[in-house]
Structure 1
C-alpha cells in the first residue's frame, strides 16, 4: 500500500508530519492493506487568513484505492490537524469495512448461475 501525503501552503509538510500520518493510516488499515493499492492524503488549513479568531479549521481528505474498484474518499474538518486526521481515518475505516462487507454480501448472494465451461 503506497501512501502519499500532500499539504497546502499553510501547513508545513515536514517529514515528522508525513511519518505520523503514514503511521496512523498503516495502523488503521492493516487488516485490509492487501486490498488497497494506494492512499492519498491532502491536509489543508481552511481558514488560514483568520488566525486571530482562534477558529482555524484544519481539513484532512483521504482517498483510498481498493484493488479493482472505484476510489473511496472521506473528509474531516476539525480544530486541529491531529483531530482532522484521526476523524478522516475513522471515517475511512468505516467506509472500507462497509464497502468490503457489501461486496462480500453480493458475492455470497448471487442468483445468476455459475459460468459453464464448454469442453
Structure 2
C-alpha cells in the first residue's frame, strides 16, 4: 500500500509529519492493506493563514484492487485531527464494503 501526500501552499509538507501520518494511516488500515494499492492524502487549509474553527480539510482517496476508488473527508482544527477523522471514516467504509463482500461469499458457498 503506497501513501501519497498532497498539500496546498499553506500547509508545510515536512517529511517528519508525513512519516508520522503515514504510520498512523498504515496502522489503522493494516487489515485492508492487501486490498488497497494506493491512498492519496489531500490536506488543505480552507482559510489560508487565517485562524478558524475546523478549517483544515483532509481528503483520503483509497484505490482498491479491482474496484472504484473511495473518497472520504474530514474537517478539523488541526492536520492530525483531520487525518485521524478521515482515516476513521475510511476504515468504517472499508469495513462495510468488505463485510458485505464476505457475507455474499458465505451465501454463495451455502448455495453451492
**Contact conserved, 2:10 with 2:49, CA < 8 A, in 1?**
no
What is the distance in 2 between the residues matched to 1:82 and 1:18? 11
Structure 1 partner of 2:75: 77
1:20 aligns with 2:20: yes
* Two-structure CA RMSD over aligned residues (Å): 1.8
**Contact conserved, 1:47 with 1:56, CA < 8 A, in 2?**
no
TM-score normalised per structure 2: 0.90
TM-score normalised per structure 1: 0.85
Q: Say which SS state the counterpart of residue 33 (structure 2) adopts.
A: helix
Residue deviations 1:59-102 (CA, integer Å, cap 9, x gap): 10001112111111100001111110110011111111111011
Question: Which residue, 56, 59, 62 being the options, matches 1:61?
Answer: 59
Specify every segment of 5 or more residues in structure 1 that has no aligned partner in the other structure, as ranges. 115-119
What is the distance in 2 between the residues matched to 1:18 and 1:71? 22
Larger Rg: 1
Task: Tell me the CA shift for residue 20 of structure 1.
Answer: 1.2
Q: Which runs of 4+ in 1 moved over 3 A?
A: none
**Contact conserved, 1:55 with 1:79, CA < 8 A, in 2?**
yes
Kindly tell me the number of residue pairs found equivalent between the two proteins.
111
**Contact conserved, 2:45 with 2:56, CA < 8 A, in 1?**
yes
Specify every segment of 5 or more residues in structure 2 that has no aligned partner in the other structure, as ranges. none
